[in-house]
Structure 1
Amino acid sequence: MAATPKPETLAAFEAAKGFMPVREGLALHKAAVDAAALGLPLLEVGTYCGRSTILLADAAREAGVTAVTVDHHRGSEEQQPGWEYHDPTVVDPEVGLMDTLPAFRRTLHHAGLEEHVIAVVGRSPQVAKVWAGEVGLVFIDGGHTDEHATNDYEGWAPKVAEGGLLVIHDVFPDPADGGQAPYRIYLRALASGAFTEVSVTDSLRVLRRVASGI
């Protein structure tokens, strides 16, 4: 499979609601293509409206594996009312809470990728506890507090198969550029000795699992 997505896939990605820039998206897609060769699922923590899911699903489709995405769909802390990334169009008017699941489903439908994705609606630590198998890739892009980032790392990094990839988004070494929680779990992954860095694309870090034990 080509390391770059087809034009229609890239167009669907660019049209989808979300925050990932194209350069980082292309790096994510390349990592997903690499990891999909292991024949294991590709797993994303933090779905929002499915922008990055399109890229994982495209790689999964071509390799004959499945993309899995985990999110409670109530929005992370910075997406709540009064915060910078709040979008009132994804608030459920009946219950008054964010609900990005309908937008996510529309995103996959428009991209023609619904059958290649399993959407798990739940909180990352709970899902990780009941997930028994290995995965070829884990993409961490959930809540950006230390609590949430640490839970995502501790819950999912051990499930990356040897030779598989751990991808972390919004890694900012300089605090002036953004929150530090993803950067801290990135450093923790490197310090563990279980991962080695493969690539850096702006705030996206790709690490390969090279040893057991985290």
Structure 2
Amino acid sequence: MPAASEPAPQAEPAPQPAPEILAAFEKAKGFMPTDEGLALYAAATRAARLGLPLLEVGTYCGRSTILLADAARRAGVTALTVDHHRGSEEQQPGWDYHDPETVDPETGLMDTLPAFRRTLHRAGLEEHVVALVGRSPQIAALWSSPLGLVFIDGGHTDEHAGADYAGWAPHVAEGGLLVIHDVFPDPADEFTGQAPYRVYLRALESGDFAEIAATSSLRVLQRTSAPAAAHR
């Protein structure tokens, strides 16, 4: 008689944040929906196994930072988040994503840093995050260490999204993850998602990254080649 077929291996369930972490994420000011947040958390948990820091470009008020910080905390690594905290183009007065509560009444400029700090404090995650306050290209130019994950969620123009990719993607370690938010292939989404989409295509065309997951507008790519020589 033929041998009985072996049962198919079960897929490993996606890691989930604790209820209080998910609640803090959903309460925080920001734009990422829950399904994409859970996908980001799963990617961060996977990347954290490399024992390297997890880095986010585009902090805003810390909504997604909560998830990266909790994944980093569980793995004993650090979450890094980069932002000048003056808001990206679509968050300025007169645009759909502007929130008047983020404006500093003294300067008249957006300042999301206080809201970000309150977000982390409420979630009990301050000690697991290093906030890098400044412009992404300037900070990236000074960076020389490998990263387990780079999450690109900053400005949505070709100039800014392209600079975030050029500055930070080379630092993703082999086997590490590049996560890109707001990837919209439809040309009708020119302002909100076409620049991230072009960054996504650029990463795939480089031959250095392969897509491993997609949830709504969130794309997860894994580095398949050795990183820059400086990291070897």
TM-score (norm 1): 0.98
The residue that corresponds to 1:5 in the other structure is 17
The residue that corresponds to 1:194 in the other structure is 208
Q: Secondary structure at the match of 1:184?
A: helix
The residue that corresponds to 2:42 in the other structure is 30
Query: 1:181 aligned to 187, 195, 211, which one?
Result: 195
> Residues 71-119 of structure 1: CA distance to partner in whole angstroms, max 9, x if unpaired?
0000000000111111110100001100000000000000000000000
The residue that corresponds to 1:166 in the other structure is 178
Aligned pairs for 1:19-98 (under 5 A) are: 19-98=31-110
> Residues 4-48 of structure 1: CA distance to partner in whole angstroms, max 9, x if unpaired?
100000000000000000000000000000000000000000000
Matched letter for residue 71 of structure 1? D
Query: 1:125 aligned to 132, 137, 143, which one?
Result: 137
Contact 2:140-2:168 at 8 Å conserved across structures: yes
Matched letter for residue 193 of structure 2? G
Which sections of structure 2, spanning at least 5 residues, go unmatched? Answer: 1-12
> Residues 97-147 of structure 1: CA distance to partner in whole angstroms, max 9, x if unpaired?
000000000000000000000000000000000011010000000000000
Matched letter for residue 194 of structure 2? Q
Q: Secondary structure at the match of 2:188?
A: coil
Contact 2:182-2:218 at 8 Å conserved across structures: yes
Matched, 1:135 2:147: yes
Aligned pairs for 1:92-107 (under 5 A) are: 92-107=104-119
Q: CA deviation at 1:213?
A: 6.1
Matched, 1:211 2:200: no
Count the aligned residue pairs. 214
Q: Report the RMSD for the aligned CA atoms in angstroms.
A: 1.3
> Residues 131-176 of structure 1: CA distance to partner in whole angstroms, max 9, x if unpaired?
1101000000000000000000000000000000000000001122
Q: Distance in 2 between matches of 1:187 and 1:2?
A: 26
Q: Distance in 1 between matches of 2:145 and 2:216?
A: 31
Matched letter for residue 207 of structure 1? L
Q: CA deviation at 1:205?
A: 0.1
Q: Secondary structure at the match of 1:98?
A: coil
Identity %: 78
The residue that corresponds to 1:154 in the other structure is 166
> Residues 168-196 of structure 1: CA distance to partner in whole angstroms, max 9, x if unpaired?
00000112244300000100000011000
Which sections of structure 1, spanning at least 5 residues, go unmatched? Answer: none
The residue that corresponds to 1:115 in the other structure is 127
